[in-house]
Structure 1
Amino acid sequence: SPVSRRAPGSRAARLREQSTLGSEEWNPWEEDEKNEQQHRVKTSLQILNKPKGKTDHSIQIWGKAAIGLYLWEHIFEGLLDPTDVTAQWREGKSIVGNTHYSFLTGPSVVPGYFPIDTSNVVLVLNGREKAKISHATQWLFFAQTLMKTQKLQHLAVVLLGNELCDNDWILKFLKKNGGLVELLFITYDSPWINDVDIFQWPLGVATYRNFPVVEASWSMLHDERPYLCNFLGTVYENSSRQALMNILKQDGNDKLCWISARQQWQPQETNVSLKNYQDALLHSDLTLCPVGVNTECYRIYEACSYGSIPVVEDVMTGGNCGNSSVHHNAPLQLLKSRGAPFIFIKNWKELPAILEKEKTIVLQEKIQRRKELLQWYQHFKTELKMKFTDVLENSFLMNNKH
């Protein structure tokens, strides 16, 4: 039976109506990267050599990867001007304690062609694959030049890491190895994480696909949700996702869930496909989160945004993630250490029992559970912001004398 679709919150609607950022998953600014190569030949550093003033209580964040938007709009709850996601240049400001943060993003943020208003910088980079790494490296060389000209004193990096945790290219840039990066915030369960100079960072929602900041509404909390669960995504052959599909079909639970599987991954989001996906999250009590190349996926955070409980396949994926004594091969350390109220399963064979139990839970109990999830997620983002700003300020502002 057709589900009545409610008008989403104005902000979500606004974001949804704006056009998408382009077809490349990890960074919407492919053209810009080509332009930067040409610009760099002519780069002039004159604008960068402002005289050094007193101790600087400001930190500038340069967002050169889509996860920068999660950092700024979701974790800092900062605004961007202009609001148009396709704008060439967007900026925002936020004050935390007595530190001024500013955020710059967009294709026009090109090395040597924008003012650097502080001696403290956080660079948000994409290290997902080869082409991205060479682009990220150019930005680090640019920062090195600024250090030599005395403008820049402190640099941190937020890195969208490789899904297999193959990030060795950045090692030589770390301060402890003679480089300039004092602090590294990195996605996935990297074995390097020590909470001293390397910290785990969440993947967050797919901002590159225009997933919005979602404001909780009365109906999101209190309405009956017509579907037990949802899974909209690519099903790879012989993957656990294929196993999941088979298990759902066996018990006829695929009829009670919103399932939309495709064989081919599609980076290009349309307004219709995004709305469809958001509706699935809003109208399901559970969101199924099978592993992809890595256990952590955008879907986990997107489900949290809509109060749909993530059912997470809690297995370590291949590659170099988590294989250190600290991690004991358990994935999703960042979420677990903060007490994520998810349903963790080791095998999709456990799902039918979970769905049977789900059918017996009364609405009042579901409302309570949604409340807990939404509150937990808000708290998670607030804690991350506090940790991020504390770590930066302790490293950057306390020792600005050297």
Structure 2
Amino acid sequence: FLDNVAVGNEEWNPWEVDEKNELIASQQRYKANLKMIKNARSHLEQTSLKVQIWGKAAIGLYLWQHIFEGQLEPADVTAQWREGSQKAGKTYFSFITGPSVVPGYFSVEAENVVLVLNGREAAKIAYATQWLHYAQTLIQTRKIQRVAVVLLGNEQCNNEWIQPYLKRNGGFVNLLFVTYDYALVNEEDIFQWPLGVATYRNFPVVEPSWSMLRDPRPYLCNFLGTVYKNSSRETLLEILKQDEFNKLCWIAAREQWQPQETNESFKNYQDALLQSDLTLCPVGVNTECYRIYEACSSGSLPVVEDVMTPGDCGNSSVRHSAPLQLLKTMGAPFIFVKNWKELPAVLEKEKKMSLQEKTDRRKKLIEWYQNFRASMRLKFINTLENSFLSGDKG
């Protein structure tokens, strides 16, 4: 029988099908590799700009991890040196941060630099100035060509010290992104930047979950914070001490501000955000506070005290809705109050809301916050590309 098969099918090759399949597979692999090489080549061609971000203020972590959704290696927040990279738009970004990032002791890997600095108080400004002088030296020696600054501004908008460094004033800084309602924001070379979450306290990137959106929350509102003498926070506390609100809201007030949280107090704070429908955001030295952004990331609607604080912050030539011009321009779906005496009415309304209404509102808030960060990322990239790719015109 076997002989017959063999004779009758001299051309038959039991491995032929496998060979054909292997041939097709290898051709497909070849095509795939070719495509990969082409993609890599076009990827390189499309990357018109290399930008290195030097994160020398905690706000840099908000920029990189929260707005750019970038990763950092190592993940350990106490590491001396952390870095990450990503391609966005036409730009290849690399980010470095940590105590080991010291002028002159790291590799400058791009002609374009974004310097993230803290200008909140005199000691920080002195440190920031050293970095600006270092960048200036690199420009003079043609090691780098263009510089943008992301600045944690002073809470009263006293940022005069940075002005001489701006290109428009004879300096070398092409672009300035600055927090708070700085009156000199012009949307040309000075832009308002969000304060973001308290990355200096390691507030994490919070991934929205089903339970965060859907579960009923045990508290109507929360306020965990410092109550300063003769501030509107005293009024707020008086209202919250009323019996019915005392039971409905998570309240933990202290008389002195603590820059470093204990693990327990920080955990309590995060839990309060996740377990409350509303987060009360009274003004501090400035109207804008980390709490607003932290509440957004936790799906707890900020109730914001919408009043200007003393100092030099205010309307700019391009925006007229201070305080919180940036958030308002971006359509933040918050509850704004001019006085905490409006709070009882807000809480009464809250009591009548169904879980479905609260769920819809939470979804809207979380989506808005995601879109807000994506918009800021896009604006940042476009602004850099428009300025840096246009040569020295920017």
The structure whose RCO (Cα within 8 Å, separation 6+) is larger is 1
Q: 2:289 aligns with which of 288, 297, 301?
A: 297
Partner in structure 1 of residue 242 of structure 2: 250
Q: Give 1:351 deviation, angstroms.
A: 0.3
For 2:50 and 2:129, the matched residues in 1 are separated by: 24
**TM-score after normalising by structure 2:** 0.86
1:89 aligns with 2:81: yes
For 2:135 and 2:143, the matched residues in 1 are separated by: 10
SS in 2 for 1:258: strand
Question: Over residues 78-121 of structure 1, what are the superposed CA-to-partner deviations in whole Å (9 max), with x where a residue is unaligned?
Answer: 00000000000000001102310000000000000101111000
1:164 aligns with 2:119: no
Partner in structure 1 of residue 217 of structure 2: 225
Q: Give 1:324 deviation, angstroms.
A: 4.4
Partner in structure 1 of residue 38 of structure 2: none
Whichever residue aligns with residue 300 of structure 1, its letter is I
Whichever residue aligns with residue 259 of structure 2, its letter is P
Q: Give 1:327 deviation, angstroms.
A: 4.3
Q: Give 1:180 deviation, angstroms.
A: 0.7
For 1:199 and 1:299, the matched residues in 2 are separated by: 22
Question: Over residues 243-284 of structure 1, what are the superposed CA-to-partner deviations in whole Å (9 max), with x where a residue is unaligned?
Answer: 100011235302210000000111112222211111000000
SS in 2 for 1:152: coil
Partner in structure 2 of residue 129 of structure 1: 121
For 1:97 and 1:162, the matched residues in 2 are separated by: 31
Once the two structures are superposed, the pairs formed by residues 274-289 of structure 1 within 5 Å of their partners are: 274-289=266-281
Q: 1:185 aligns with which of 177, 181, 195?
A: 177
Question: Over residues 40-78 of structure 1, what are the superposed CA-to-partner deviations in whole Å (9 max), with x where a residue is unaligned?
Answer: xxxxxxxxxxxxxxx962100000000000000000000
1:366 aligns with 2:370: no
Question: Over residues 223-257 of structure 1, what are the superposed CA-to-partner deviations in whole Å (9 max), with x where a residue is unaligned?
Answer: 01000000000000110001100011235302210
Partner in structure 2 of residue 195 of structure 1: 187
Question: Over residues 352-375 of structure 1, what are the superposed CA-to-partner deviations in whole Å (9 max), with x where a residue is unaligned?
Answer: 000001000000010000000000
Bigger CA radius of gyration: 2
Whichever residue aligns with residue 273 of structure 2, its letter is L
Q: 1:213 aligns with which of 192, 205, 210?
A: 205
Whichever residue aligns with residue 269 of structure 1, its letter is E
Check the 8 A contact 1:251/1:352 in 2, yes or no.
Answer: no
SS in 2 for 1:358: helix
**TM-score after normalising by structure 1:** 0.85
Question: Over residues 281-333 of structure 1, what are the superposed CA-to-partner deviations in whole Å (9 max), with x where a residue is unaligned?
Answer: 00000000000000000000000001000000000111000154544462001
Whichever residue aligns with residue 207 of structure 2, its letter is E
Gaps of 5+ in 1: 1-54
SS in 1 for 2:188: coil
Q: 2:252 aligns with which of 260, 284, 288?
A: 260
Whichever residue aligns with residue 148 of structure 1, its letter is Q
Two-structure CA RMSD over aligned residues (Å): 1.4
Q: 1:355 aligns with which of 343, 347, 353?
A: 347
Check the 8 A contact 1:316/1:329 in 2, yes or no.
Answer: no
Partner in structure 2 of residue 19 of structure 1: none
For 1:152 and 1:343, the matched residues in 2 are separated by: 45
Partner in structure 2 of residue 39 of structure 1: none
1:109 aligns with 2:101: yes
Gaps of 5+ in 2: 1-46
Runs of 4+ with >2 A deviation: 323-330
Check the 8 A contact 2:182/2:314 in 1, yes or no.
Answer: yes
Specify which structure has the higher proportion of helix.
2
For 1:325 and 1:312, the matched residues in 2 are separated by: 24
Task: State how many pairs are aligned.
Answer: 348
Partner in structure 1 of residue 137 of structure 2: 145
Q: 2:370 aligns with which of 378, 381, 400?
A: 378
Check the 8 A contact 2:221/2:277 in 1, yes or no.
Answer: yes
Check the 8 A contact 1:165/1:190 in 2, yes or no.
Answer: yes
> Identity of paired residues, percent?
72
